[in-house]
Amino acid sequence: MPLTRRDFLKLSSGAFILPLSLPKNLFADYLKIPVLMYHDISNEFDDEYTISPPLFAAQMEWLYSNGYKTIFFNEVDKFIKPGDDRAAIITFDDGYASFGSYTFPLLKEYGFKATINAIGKHIGSYIKLARNRPLLSWDEYRHFIKSGLVELGCHTYDLHIYKSGLGILGFTQKEIEDDFRLFQDVAKKETGHDTKILAWPYGLYDKKTMNIAQRAGFKYILTSNEGYLQKDSDLLKIPRRNINNRHDLVSFQQYLRGGV
Partner 1 sequence: MNFEELGFLALNNNDNQEAINIFRRALEKKKSADGFIGLGIAHYNLEDYQTARWAFYKALEMEPDNKEILIHISNVEKIKKQSPLPQKQSLFRAAKDYLEILSDGKWSKFFVKGMNIGLGIPGYFPGEYPIKKGTYLKWFEQMADIGINALRNYTVHPPSFYEALYQFNQSGKKLYLFQGIWVELPEGNNFYEPTFNRYVQENIKNAVDVIYGNASLPEKPGYAHGTYEYDISSNTIGFIFGREWESCAVKNFNELRTREIKDFKGEFLSIHEGTPFEIWIVKICDFLQSYEYEKYKTSHALSAANWPTLDPLYHPSESRYEEELLLQGLSAKTDICNENEDMESLDVAKIRAEKGGGFFATYHAYPYYPDFMNNDYLDKENTFLAYLKELKNHHGNQPVLVAEFGVPSCREVAHWHRDGWHHGGHNELRQGEINGLLMKTIYKAGMAGGILFSLYDEWFKKNWLFIDYYIPADRKAFWFNIQDAEENYGLLAMYPGYPQKKVSLTGKKEEWKESRVLYEKKDGSTVFKFNDGFDKTREFKRLLVQHDEGFIYILIEINEKINFTEANYLIGLDTCRPQIGEFLLPFNTKLISPIGLKFLIHLAGKEKSRILVCHSYDKYLNWPKEIKPVISKQGCWVMMKNEANKRRVSKDGKKYFPSRVFSMSRLQFGSLNRNSPHYNSLADFFFTDNIIELRIPWGLINFTDPSSKMVLWRDKNDKAIKSDGIKIIAVSYKPVKNQLQAENTGLVSNITDSFPQTLSQNNIATYSWNDWVTPIYHTYLKESYYKYKEYLSQIPEVA
Torsion angle, alpha carbons of 154, 149, 187, 88, to 10: -10
Residue 152 interacting with partner 1 (CB under 8 A): no
133 or 160, CB closer to partner 1? 133
Q: Which one among 100, 177, 178, 245 touches partner 1, defined by CB under 8 A?
A: 100
Instruction: Round to whole Å and give the CA distance between 80 and 51.
Output: 29
- Of the candidates 162, 147, 155, the one whose C-alpha atom is nearest the C-alpha of residue 100 is 147
Our CB check for partner 1 shows the closer of 127 and 161 to be 127
State how beta strands 197-199 and 220-222 pair: parallel
Asked if 104 is part of the footprint of partner 1 (rule: CB under 8 A), the reply reads: yes
Distance CA 177, CA 185 (A): 12
User: Is residue 132 part of the contact set for partner 1 (CB under 8 A)?
Assistant: yes
| C-beta separation of 41 from 52 below 8 A | yes
**Per CB under 8 A, 62 contacts partner 1:** yes
In the complex, least distance from residue 59 CB atom to partner 1, rounded to whole angstroms: 9
Strand, helix or coil at 220? strand
Q: Is 70 helix (H, G, I), strand (E, B) or coil?
A: strand
Binding mask 41-60 for partner 1 (x = CB under 8 A): --x--------xxxx-xx--
Q: Which of 65, 77, 192, 207: binder of partner 1 (CB under 8 A)?
A: 65
Q: Which of 3, 20, 249, 260 binds partner 1 (CB under 8 A)?
A: 249
The dihedrals phi and psi of 51, each to the nearest 5 degrees, come to -125, 145
Residues lying near partner 1 in the complex (CB under 8 A) are found at 43, 52-55, 57-58, 61-62, 64-67, 97, 100-102, 104-106, 109, 124-128, 132-134, 136-140, 143-144, 248-250
